[in-house]
Amino acid sequence: MRITQSMLARNFLNNLNTSYSKLAKYQEQLASGKKINKLSDDPLSAMKGISYRRTVAQVKQYEDNFLEASTWIETTNDALDEANQVLQRIRELVVEGSTDTETPSDRQSIADEVEQLRDQLVDIANTKVNDKYIFNGTNTTEKPISTDISTFDGSTTLGINNNPVKIELSKGIYLQVNADGSKVFSDDLFKDLNDLISDLNAGTSANGFDRYLDTIDAHIDNVLSELSQTGARSNRLDLMKERVSQQELTATEIMSNNEDVDIDQVYTDFSVASGAYTAALKVGAQVIQPTLLDFLK
């Protein structure tokens, strides 16, 4: 087959375009740091990349959930700890009021402090996190205790919701983040405290306060039980957070391996392609330089 000048020129231009396309591809990869800048670069890797990005996005969403769960658990723990301290102080006052050396006037003073401590327990029961009440179960927009607690005698109920509040921390895995407010701030607790205040104000003899020690101890045990469960949830939260953090690292690494370029390798490829392109231009200039007049000579 006779090789014509036009065939040489056409082949040269085709090869030159191919070389230029490679050069442009490497240049784009160096600029973006990515292997895939459009779907046609590598359809299979591009589809994998979409899946990897979805996984990373899900993990990051769980991280936000971990922050919310941590806030709930830490606030619950602090509130329960304060409630325990309040009840411990009430117990001290009961012991003090049950001694024979206390006068009716002394017991009235003790009653005043117990009354303040009772009201403090109401404030603790109404603790909020981000405008959500943490001791009213799933009724997070309603106060657990909204009644006048000073007149509460147990004939009605406070009606604290005890449904668990759960937050998803990994796909399909939920952790309860609240304590059971109906156990800690029970109807019996406030009825017993109001009875105690009434007896103190009435100047009841020392023997009449013995029964309150066991009663207060039982309420303290309820608080400690919820504190223990909250501590266990906190420990589990830490373990799950560590696991999800590792999942994020793994997913990010896989995504990076799928999409990110080896800068050194691409720079080398770019240099080679650039040299080849320059050489092709020089050779092409020599090949297509002769004119028809040159062939007629």
Over residues 51-57, mean pLDDT:
68
Cα angle for residues 78, 221, 215 (degrees, 5° grid): 120
Only one residue has tokens 């309820």, namely 222
Q: What are the angstrom distances between the C-alpha of 184 and each of 72, 79, 155, 180?
A: 16, 11, 19, 7
- pLDDT tens digits, one per residue of 203-232: 766 667 778 999 999 999 999 999 999 999
Per-residue model confidence (pLDDT) at position 186? 96
Query: 166: which strand partners?
Result: 176
- d(Cα 35, Cα 264) in Å, to the nearest integer? 13
Q: For helices 5-32 and 263-287, give the axis angle rounded to 10 degrees.
A: 160
- pLDDT tens digits, one per residue of 99-132: 877 788 888 999 999 999 999 999 999 999 989 9
Q: What is the 3-state secondary structure (H, E, C) of the chain?
A: CCCCHHHHHHHHHHHHHHHHHHHHHHHHHHHHCECCCCHHHCHHHHHHHHHHHHHHHHHHHHHHHHHHHHHHHHHHHHHHHHHHHHHHHHHHHHHHHCCCCCCHHHHHHHHHHHHHHHHHHHHHHCCEECCEECCCCCCCCCCCCCCCHHHCCCCCCCCCCCCCCEEEEECCEEEECCCCHHHHCCHHHHHHHHHHHHHHHCCCCHHHHHHHHHHHHHHHHHHHHHHHHHHHHHHHHHHHHHHHHHHHHHHHHHHHHHHECCHHHHHHHHHHHHHHHHHHHHHHHHHCCCCHHHHHC
Nearest CA among 189, 238, 297 for reference residue 74: 238
Per-residue model confidence (pLDDT) at position 230? 97
- d(Cα 264, Cα 33) in Å, to the nearest integer? 11
> Could you confirm whether domain 54-255 is CATH 3.90.1150.10?
no
Residue 45 pLDDT greater than 80, yes or no: no
- pLDDT tens digits, one per residue of 239-273: 988 887 777 677 666 666 656 555 555 556 556 65
Report whether 31 contacts 270 (CB < 8 A). no
Residue 36 pLDDT greater than 90, yes or no: no
